[in-house]
Chain A
């Protein structure tokens, strides 16, 4: 696959070139200092100086508040929906990796979620490898890595003065071809430097769990440790809503005067009402059951059903939990 170089100074030229055909989302820093993907070009300056965004790009494929249908007076239809070819620039490998994971849920071949499918189809992902990690990162423990290319069409590595761009898919090749006039050939020196930077980042990460985790978790279903670990959980949705792979949703009808819409919104298994039955019974009545479910779903059921963990090790749940729960600590306690 092709590899090209672009200097930092020319980055705007590259994005402008891409902008001719695609909508481009790139990281920018707002007044509050928060870096997030914003439609480029924007007022806030482009920046690659960030560890990761607060919010994952999940919302661009599975919107938090999505109208599925509209209806009035007995007639219904899908809302007018225009999906344009989009490029996401500088998504971290963990977030990029989350997309093939979501594909396992929403695009299983027989029953494709059309709303997700059309957003996914029209989006090209340029990942930016990590050269520095955070103490909450653990991507290498779940099959990923700071230079992992899963889910990306192009992988970029920041080499101080320039970016190395490595095509991963046909789409990535297409991008490199389209913007060829802004790019230079990759040098062996640059390729070497990139590999070293990524290896350096990998070295910063401490392993968390072993490949035995799914099997071990099967044996631990009734462990009292679920209660001691889980009782801290307050039942908010911070972890799920920030998680790049969490995908549970609720569907509701909002109607008034005979007209309305059917809307899909994000839901969270930690919410106390998540499994509430119409009878009043709740099979997951306390934080213990809900915490156990969360860990099991991500690290056991996903592996058993899809051969892949539903966690990409981004660490957001650990950084933003209001009571600082750390699923790594819980897994460690279980001896996983």
Chain B
């Protein structure tokens, strides 16, 4: 789709200008990776390098994950005093990523005045696993868009294979309700309509009997190798020391006992309740292909139902679990 090529050109121009005019000291975007169906984050500090920036459906990382760390003071007090103030940072953001920034602003983890947000109207991302599976035994040597909305891959024998967009679109993108960034200083591309509201993923949890739900949950997390990719890739997991890395006390074991794995996923879901904006970076990061958002999707839906709240909509909105109402529902209580 030439729309993306145009966006890419404007992105390079915008970033280059911001750096040249010293409006930002650092620009975070994407660049081509060494393997197809992927991009890799790019940290730019020189305007001349802006040509390395890429924009395409393989820009699957949520770059706002790098922001909290850039604003965190070093743990060491002496280093904190000596550290220079954070630079102004430019960052390329899809609709979902921009909501992450808003959510981070809600939680005071980044400073708006130190950010220049370059919003990109995204048409959806390609899930590299779906694409690789669609190619079967062939291996892609290169991939790109074909100008008609689909993905064209060149495989090892030189032939081209067309992958239809709907077949390789990332799960989170299929449910996307905010393709256009809501917060930005620059907007590249024309926002498309959100199609995600119509689609509700059938994940086997609703209206299933209890034991089936338990089996579903256990099966979903059984492949977990506790690599923490889901946690590290998530912009909302910014704790300097994660609960699960604490040693006094050590809340759960570090291994792969299904009990520890289950609690890891249960607690992550809880910690993200009302905070997860559904970008799907976690499920794309998981090397084992686990449906990481299985529990979180339900919790987010409940938060919306119970408290009429969606994270990442307004930077001044108080996070849902940081406030309360006198008439909050309490029919979950036990009465004698």
Contact = CB atoms under 8 A, between A and B. Distances in A.
A78 interface: no
Interface in A147-184: none
Given A252-B253, A265-B255, A241 B139 contact: no
Interface stretch (B1-9, B39-47, B175-183, B264-272): B39-47
Nearest to B288: A54
Nearest to B42: A232
Interface stretch (A4-12, A87-95, A300-308, A319-327): A319-327
Contacts of A325: 40
B58 to A, nearest CB: 9
A77 interface: no
Contacts of A237: 225-229
B34 A328 contact: yes
B43 A231 contact: yes
B289 interface: yes
A44 interface: no
Contacts of A266: 226
A65 interface: yes
A322 B40 CA distance: 9
Given A65-B257, A237-B228, A322-B233, A242 B287 contact: yes
B279 to A, nearest CB: 13
A33 interface: yes
A64 B33 contact: no
A313 to B, nearest CB: 14
Contacts of A134: 139
B256 interface: yes
Given A64-B255, A285-B74, A325-B40, A234 B233 contact: yes
Nearest to A33: B133
A280 interface: yes
Contacts of B257: 65
A329 B285 contact: no
A64 B253 contact: no
14 contacts: A32-B289, A51-B139, A55-B225, A64-B226, A65-B257, A132-B139, A135-B36, A136-B34, A234-B233, A238-B229, A268-B227, A273-B241, A323-B40, A324-B40
Contacts of A65: 253, 255-257
A134 B137 CA distance: 11
Contact of A228 (B43, B133, B284): B43
Contacts of A60: none
Contact of B35 (A54, A135, A242): A135
Contacts of A267: 254
Chain B contact residues: helix, strand, loop or mixed: loop
B253 A318 contact: no
Chain A contact residues: helix, strand, loop or mixed: loop
Contact of A236 (B231, B253, B255): B231
Interface residues of A, number: 48
Interface of B: 33-36, 38-41, 43, 61, 65-66, 74-76, 133, 137, 139, 141, 156, 225-229, 231-233, 241, 245, 250, 253-257, 281, 284-285, 287-289
Contacts of A41: none
A257 interface: no
A55 B161 CA distance: 28
A267 B228 CA distance: 11
B285 A236 contact: yes
Contacts of B227: 236-238, 241, 268
Contacts of A268: 227
Given A64-B255, A136-B34, A285-B75, 19 more contacts: A33-B133, A34-B289, A64-B256, A65-B256, A135-B36, A234-B233, A236-B227, A236-B231, A241-B226, A252-B253, A263-B253, A265-B256, A267-B254, A280-B75, A281-B76, A322-B61, A322-B284, A323-B41, A323-B233
B99 to A, nearest CB: 20
B229 to A, nearest CB: 4
A193 B287 CA distance: 36
A263 B34 contact: no
Interface string A36-65: 000000000000010100110000000011
A263 B254 CA distance: 9
A196 to B, nearest CB: 18
Contact of B228 (A64, A236, A280, A281): A236
Interface in A208-256: 228, 231-232, 234-238, 241-242, 250, 252, 254
A271 interface: yes
A135 B36 CA distance: 9
Q: Which of A51, A228, A232, A242 has the most CB of B within 10 A?
A: A232
Contacts of B65: 234
B40 A232 contact: yes
A61 to B, nearest CB: 16
Contacts of A252: 250, 253-254
Contacts of B43: 228, 231-232
A49 B138 CA distance: 11
Contacts of A282: 75
A273 B232 CA distance: 13
Closest 9 CB pairs of A and B: A65-B255, A322-B285, A324-B33, A234-B232, A236-B229, A237-B227, A265-B255, A236-B232, A324-B40
Nearest to A287: B69
Contact of A263 (B61, B225, B255): B255
Contacts of A228: 43
A334 to B, nearest CB: 16
B143 to A, nearest CB: 12
A254 B247 CA distance: 12
Contacts of A263: 253-255
Contacts of A280: 75-76
